[in-house]
């Protein structure tokens, strides 16, 4: 499971600035998709040597108004879910009583704390750090979030504390023989959309009884099952399978656990509620799924009990609000009655195969040549961008690396065109495709 880091500190010390800097890949991805709202609290950090989930916590204050209360709750939740707490302080403001209070709180949690001093530009590291030693939190890391100073050092410290974050993307280290591999499936959605009902239906009733017996594998989070000769592993970090009451579902819902399940999966099934339509929380989850690059199947649940007109409205609402998920197959189902459920796993399997497909360089290059012939790249400073060949640089999602001259000048719109061209021509249904460029001189 991917590690979780919580960003804590007083308001105004630069937490969101640091959050944005560390999760910047997300900005690029989100900018790419109109209609996608950005979640400013949860983010993925994907650096070459540091991979984790980051939570921003608003800010901790002594004030007692309802806003501060809300932030305190958010911080408590984040602390609860974190493997490491990054405690950010303001090097310009110096050590304030509120910092000491937070330090006391964090020392009592019993989880590792990394002290980080922000706003250090133009100052000497040792000087900025000196007064903060008194908090007894060890050697601080000195950074400037706005200027990017010390960020690499910070990431190194983080990886040292969390060495298990290093071997990232289980998917990439998977054996090439896919015959005996199992499809890792995460089922996600906001509370009450029908995830547990669906999971129980997919896994089969006996299975649920067996797993719920006291003293058995109650806490197992990887649940293998077989369907039509295909092996699946259902990833249940969020406790979806065990829920019995609706109130329990609301209590247990955790974005972090959802994200961990997404990260550990090959294919994500996003469940939405047809009777309520797409709401902002669905969009946040969709955004986080998009950023993960995982293959996706959409299950529009509670399709029962809707009039024809309502169904038409719901279908168009989904298309309109989730345009960035058009690569995903959408199923209209009733987990309660079972209609449509049988076909879901077919799409999961298809998406999995597309996401992990092997495509030879010769084939990719031919498709690239066809794409260019159909629609040549634009001129940049009077010269045409030249693409030479394409090779597969990764899977789940497939990453197509295109080599050539001035490739970095490729406009977004043309990159999108190429992504779509590769996806449709190679029939990569259910997975995003990423096109990246390399310029060779
Ligand atoms: P948060 O309340 O902890 O999330 O703090 P913000 O990220 O909103 O930052 C508060 C203010 O500090 C903003 O005006 C930022 O531009 C500024 N700030 C953040 N990081 C730095 C930094 O490294 N140096 C300086 N000089 N200002 C910073
Ligand atoms: P979760 O929080 O996403 O796991 O949702 P649950 O599976 O606990 O379901 C929440 C509520 O929706 C329960 O009362 C279910 O009986 C109901 N529900 C689940 N699936 C369906 C469905 O297909 N149709 C209808 N009408 N209700 C459903």
Which atom in ligand 1 lies closest to the alpha carbon of residue 145?
23
Question: Is 377 annotated to bind ligand?
Answer: no
Of 53, 126, 39, 54, the closest CA to residue 88 belongs to: 54
pLDDT digits (tens, 9 = 90+) for 81-132: 899 999 999 999 999 999 999 999 999 998 999 999 999 998 787 888 889 9
What's the gap in Å between 276 CA and the centre of ligand 2?
A: 12
> What residue owns the CA closest to ligand 2's atom 25?
302
Specify the 3-state DSSP secondary structure of 426.
coil
Q: Which ligand is nearest to the CA of 243?
A: 2
What's the gap in Å between 249 CA and the centre of ligand 2?
A: 10
Give me the helix-helix angle, 280-292 and 24-31, nearest 10°: 110
Could you please report the per-residue DSSP string of 145-209?
TTTTBTHHHHHHHHHHH-GGGSS--GGGGS-S--TT--EEEEEE-STTSSHHHHHHHHH-HHHHH
Question: Is 313 annotated to bind ligand?
Answer: no
pLDDT digits (tens, 9 = 90+) for 239-266: 777 655 556 655 667 888 889 899 999 9
Instruction: Determine the Cα–Cα distance for residues 246 and 86; give it in Å rounded to an integer.
Output: 34
Of 198, 184, 84, 192, the closest CA to residue 137 belongs to: 84
What's the gap in Å between 118 CA and the centre of ligand 1?
A: 8
Which atom in ligand 1 lies closest to the alpha carbon of residue 19?
7
Lining ligand 1 with CB less than 6 A are 9, 11-17, 59, 118-119, 121, 144-146
Q: What percent of the chain has pLDDT over 90?
A: 53
Lining ligand 2 with CB less than 6 A are 189, 191-197, 240, 243, 246, 249, 301-302, 304-305, 334-336
Question: Is 9 annotated to bind ligand?
Answer: yes
Instruction: Determine the Cα–Cα distance for residues 222 and 206; give it in Å rounded to an integer.
Output: 17
> What residue owns the CA closest to ligand 2's atom 24?
302
What's the gap in Å between 247 CA and the centre of ligand 2?
A: 12
User: Quick check: 145 pLDDT over 70?
Assistant: yes
Which atom in ligand 1 lies closest to the alpha carbon of residue 118?
23
Of 178, 199, 177, 180, the closest CA to residue 188 belongs to: 199
Q: Which ligand is nearest to the CA of 18?
A: 1
pLDDT digits (tens, 9 = 90+) for 164-192: 543 333 333 344 444 458 999 999 999 88
pLDDT digits (tens, 9 = 90+) for 338-388: 999 999 999 999 999 999 999 999 999 999 999 999 999 988 888 889 999
User: Quick check: 65 pLDDT over 70?
Assistant: yes
Residue whose tokens read 């500190």: 9
Starting at the edge strand that comes first in sequence, how are the strands of the sheet with 295-301 ordered?
222-227, 230-235, 183-188, 267-273, 295-301, 329-332
Which atom in ligand 2 lies closest to the alpha carbon of residue 250?
2
> What residue owns the CA closest to ligand 2's atom 26?
302
Strands, E assignment, 238-363: 267-273, 295-301, 329-332
21, 149 Cβ separation under 8 angstroms = no
User: Quick check: 30 pLDDT over 60?
Assistant: no
Which atom in ligand 1 lies closest to the alpha carbon of residue 92?
26
ipTM for the assembly? 0.80
Of 218, 249, 230, 253, the closest CA to residue 184 belongs to: 230
pLDDT for 171 equals 39
Question: Is 247 annotated to bind ligand?
Answer: no
pLDDT for 2 equals 86
User: Quick check: 311 pLDDT over 80?
Assistant: yes
Task: Give the DSSP letter of residue 381.
Answer: T
User: Quick check: 78 pLDDT over 90?
Assistant: no
Interacting residues of 292 by C-beta distance below 8 A, sequence separation 6+: 44, 259, 262, 263, 268
115, 89 Cβ separation under 8 angstroms = yes
Give the chain's radius of gyration (CA, Å).
Answer: 24
pLDDT for 33 equals 58
Task: Report the Cα–Cα distance between both ends of the chain, in Å, rounded.
Answer: 40
pLDDT for 29 equals 52
For residue 61, what are its two tokens?
């204050």
User: Quick check: 153 pLDDT over 60?
Assistant: yes
Question: Is 329 annotated to bind ligand?
Answer: no
pTM for this prediction? 0.79
The best mutation among 189, 192, 334 to test binding of ligand 2, ranked by most ligand atoms within 8 Å of the C-beta, falls on 192
Instruction: Determine the Cα–Cα distance for residues 429 and 113; give it in Å rounded to an integer.
Output: 43
Question: Is 11 annotated to bind ligand?
Answer: yes
> What residue owns the CA closest to ligand 2's atom 18?
194
Which atom in ligand 2 lies closest to the alpha carbon of residue 198?
7
Of 201, 252, 259, the closest CA to residue 225 belongs to: 201
pLDDT for 32 equals 55
Q: What angle do CA 354, 360, 366 make, to 5 degrees?
A: 100
Residue count (the chain): 441
Q: What angle do CA 363, 366, 368 make, to 5 degrees?
A: 110
Question: Is 317 annotated to bind ligand?
Answer: no
Starting at the edge strand that comes first in sequence, how are the strands of the sheet with 50-56 ordered?
42-47, 50-56, 4-8, 84-90, 113-118, 141-142
Which atom in ligand 1 lies closest to the alpha carbon of residue 121?
24
pLDDT for 173 equals 38
| CA separation, residue 19 to residues 151, 158, 195, 242, 292 (Å) | 11, 14, 30, 33, 17
């Amino acid at each position: 499971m991917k590690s979780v880091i919580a960003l804590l500190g007083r308001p105004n010390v630069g937490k969101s600035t640091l959050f944005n800097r560390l999760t910047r890949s997300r900005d690029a991805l989100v900018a790419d998709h109109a209609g996608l709202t950005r979640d400013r609290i949860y983010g993925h950090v994907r650096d070459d040597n540091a991979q984790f989930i980051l939570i921003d916590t608003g800010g901790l204050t002594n004030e007692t108004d309802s806003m501060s209360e809300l932030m305190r709750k958010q911080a408590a939740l984040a602390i609860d879910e974190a493997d490491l707490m990054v405690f950010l302080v303001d090097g310009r403001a110096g050590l304030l009583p509120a910092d000491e209070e937070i330090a006391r709180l964090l020392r009592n949690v019993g989880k590792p704390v990394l002290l980080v001093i922000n706003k250090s530009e133009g100052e000497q590291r040792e000087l900025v750090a000196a007064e903060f030693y008194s908090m007894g939190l060890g050697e601080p890391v000195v950074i400037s979030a706005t200027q990017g100073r010390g960020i690499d050092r910070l990431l190194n410290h983080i990886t040292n504390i969390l060495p298990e974050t290093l071997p990232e993307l289980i998917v990439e280290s998977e054996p090439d023989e896919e015959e005996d591999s199992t499809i890792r499936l995460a089922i996600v959605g906001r509370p009450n959309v029908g995830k547990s009902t669906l999971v129980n239906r997919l896994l089969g009733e006996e299975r649920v009884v067996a797993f719920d017996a006291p003293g058995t594998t109650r806490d197992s989070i990887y649940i293998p099952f077989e369907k039509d000769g295909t092996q699946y592993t259902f990833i249940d970090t969020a406790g979806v399978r065990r829920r019995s009451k609706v109130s329990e579902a609301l209590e247990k819902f955790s974005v972090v656990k959802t994200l961990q399940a997404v990260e550990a999966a090959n294919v994500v099934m996003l469940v939405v509620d047809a009777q309520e339509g797409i709401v902002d929380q669905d969009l946040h989850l969709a955004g986080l799924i998009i950023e993960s690059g995982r293959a996706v199947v959409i299950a529009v649940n509670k399709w029962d009990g809707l009039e024809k007109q309502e169904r038409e409205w719901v279908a168009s609402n989904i298309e309109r609000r989730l345009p960035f998920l058009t690569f995903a197959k959408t199923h209209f189902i009733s987990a309660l009655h079972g209609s449509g459920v049988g076909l879901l796993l077919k799409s999961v399997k298809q998406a999995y195969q597309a996401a992990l497909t092997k495509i030879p360089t010769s084939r990719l290059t031919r498709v690239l040549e066809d794409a260019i012939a159909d629609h040549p790249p634009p001129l940049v400073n009077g010269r045409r961008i030249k693409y030479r060949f394409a090779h597969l640089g990764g899977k789940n999602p497939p990453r197509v690396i295109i080599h050539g001259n001035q490739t970095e000048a490729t406009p977004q719109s043309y990159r999108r065109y190429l992504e779509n061209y590769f996806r449709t021509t190679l029939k990569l249904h259910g997975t995003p495709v990423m096109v990246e460029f390399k310029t060779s001189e």
